[in-house]
Chains A and B, each alone.
Chain A
Amino acid sequence: MTLFSLARKNIARNFSQYFLYIASMVFSIVIYFTFVTLKYSDIVSDMTKSSQKMGSLMSGAAVVLLFFVAIFIAYSNSFFMKKRKKEVALYALLGVRKRQIGFMLFFENLLLGVFSLVIGVFLGFLSSKLFVTLLIRLMGYDVVAPFTFSTEAVINTASVFLIIFFITSFQGYRLIYQFKLIDLFHASKKGEVAPKPSWIVAILGVISIGTGYWLALQNLLTSEAWRILGMFTPLIILATVIIGTFLLFHSVTGFVLTLFKRREKWLWKGLHLMTISQLLYRVRGNARTLTVIAILSATTVTAGGAVYSLYYNINDNVKLTDPNTFMYEQTANVDNEKVTSLLPNTIYDENISALFVTFEAKQLDSAMGTDGDKRIYTVINETTYNKLAKLQQKEELNLKGNKATMIDVQYHESLSPKYAGKTITAEKKGTTITLEGYHEVPVLNLMAGMTLVVTNEQYKELEIQGESVQFRAIGVDDATTDLSKKIASVLPDKAQFSSAPEDYQNGIEGMGSLLFIGSFLGLVFLAATGSIIYFKVLTEAEEDKSQYNMLYKMGVGAREMRKTVASQVFVIFSVPLVIGLTHSAVALTAFSKLFSMDFTKPVIIWMVAYTAIYGIYYVLTVYSYNRIITQNNKREG
């Protein structure tokens, strides 16, 4: 029997430990391989050819993914190696040379890596089919995903992971040189001293986060701070928030827990003492890991939330840009009959008269600078507006005292001009129009241009001062893109055909790929975040199991132990989550202000989803923790 065969036996019998490690490697490979397969697949590469945005998005995402996978594997590797310290030290003590042990660890690691690679690629091949289908569904294509196997993807994945495994294996080789044999031989534990929380550090942390939040919530255009800091502002926000989060974990939590420690009536009841003391030590000792987790959660939720919100809002956006299902200008060579023959039952089908009038509009210079003094507006009268508004089930307008109103769909408090009270003058004959303000509800599709609604009298006055046009606005229920394409084919370019289903499709295509990449990366980040805490907590469980054994011997019941474990792990999980969610809530508020969109609903959906999956990790971790200590208790008696 050789050392090699003993080591092999050790692997076989310790399979549960190895399983966790192999599983996390396989998981990383599956994710990466799926992503690369998508990148090389015909469908996606066709799409990336047609849209550069998508192509660079895919490449960028691949880099982020790679970076993440590498960190994740390194993390689980170090966890795995820690568990084997005892075995390795024993070999060394029994006289195996360090170099021999190093080589053993190196090759074992490399073998495990290759093994996981084969499984990972196989599973990734299966899952890529699922993901391609999903991607296509999200992007609104009706094609069945072909079952492709891409050699390029295999080569890419294999070379990337072999490099990663080579590096981690080398770390395994170095392990034996890193620690001292004496650590094992006399298992004298070094006294662990929890550092004292400092008021100054705590206050600095709160100030740092506060500064970041304040900067993020400033109005981008009017803020002094943004003007002075300029392009660096986002970086400063990031830095202050990250540093603040770290200090928060380092000191503020310490204070809170010390506060608990003072309440002796509560503290000296059951295992509360144990729970709080353990946490006091753990939270501060793990400040760095907890910061990483909080920031990762914040990034995932923010990015995912933003993308999901945009996706979620596509429908609303289309309703704003295209209030009519179809609309076109009835230019000279338009065949209205042909269009009519294509149409199914319509809700309405109207001819709209409008004017293109050039105005002197110096007073409407916006914060964004001058757009030139002369501007062409599409003018319609009140009757036309109200007729369409009624058909589209919108509120009617009531213009008072000969004043006009501007329809500004994308009104932005600081970007758009202040309309109320301003006057514009028609270029030809100098008719002056006074604005009573703006109105955000459109009745014409965006292709018609900026719309000015005037009273019927004013309209008559302006009729001779502009070019008169006829639009055809059509409302259809459940219009398809096919119908839209058919209509577009019979209309000349000049008619500026605009179609709600087509714009919707475009929006979904663009956002769908973003959403897919966003949720895909979100999934990876989430999995990695969860796994990092999982590994971390379980390492601690291994260290603490003798303490629980002592408690067990002192007569503490299994239920009480489960309770203290559950609440300790709960704090470790929930504190970074809460902080991460708060960060992303602030970031998304800033984001929604910038886009002047309401993100509340999609963001809440996204956050709940994130928390739910994160919760599964919590349950899993508590379960494994309990299993470790009960097993140990049974064994040690």
Chain B
Amino acid sequence: MGKKGFYSNWMMYPAILIFVVFFIIPNISGFYLAFTDWNVYFIDDMRLVGFDNFQKLFIDNIFWISLKNTLFFVFVTVMAKNIIGFIMALLVSKASKFNTYLRTVMFLPVMISGIVISIIFLSIYNPETGLINTFLRSIGLGALAKGWLIDSKFAMSSIAAMEIWQWSGFNMVIFIAGLQSIPHNFYEAASIDGATWFQKIRYITVPLMIQSFTMTFVFSIISGFKVFAQVYGTTNGGPNDSTQVMATFLFRSFARGQYGYSAAVGIVFMLVITLFSALFLVFLRKKEIEY
């Protein structure tokens, strides 16, 4: 059959048109805007200013703080979400009514917008009457009660904990799908050879689930770098810029009307995310095995 004639390229054009106008053109023109002084006061009058924006960015102390905070957030949440999600998956992967209940409950927070979660956690982290400090005091650990979001030493970790609480269930669901795809006879063979539970996890489960790990790692890395609502809704970068992350830093300069400068921030932001995700993707893809 005349395949070339049958499959009409016209069917791709609506999607391509939208994508070109609202994704490709903005991303390419970002490279131009980053070299201009475009701002809200002279919105129709932008001039090229060379590397000025980047120079200003790299000597901005808060930019480096936000980069450091973002990397900290990515590292902590990626590790915790994957480890906790994996353990949860191991514990609830068998089909039973109780496990179905557990899965449903643990996945539920994923459905809620980050900004709503932030508002809920503002009350949970409340220093006087919040759930966490009340609980600590009730078991006699009142000394550990903190101003979780107010104390600049703990604010970033508290926001990370919130993200871990919300998204571990997502990784769990992906791991459960991965676990269920491993042929059962692998474990039976290992049992005959006298492998312990831990050895089975180490030498069968983990290697055969690399594809799931690739996905959860890349997802968590990308969403970690893009973190915004969780910070915006709780501390909005404070106290003293101690929780400033890349996305809130970008929004701050946008809200101040420094569009050219913000475009430069956006470019650096995009390069950091793309570089890290690509590195991990290549690294983990190599570890995948056929069976």
Q: Do the two shown chains form a genuine complex with each other?
A: no
Identify the B interface with A (CB < 8 A).
none
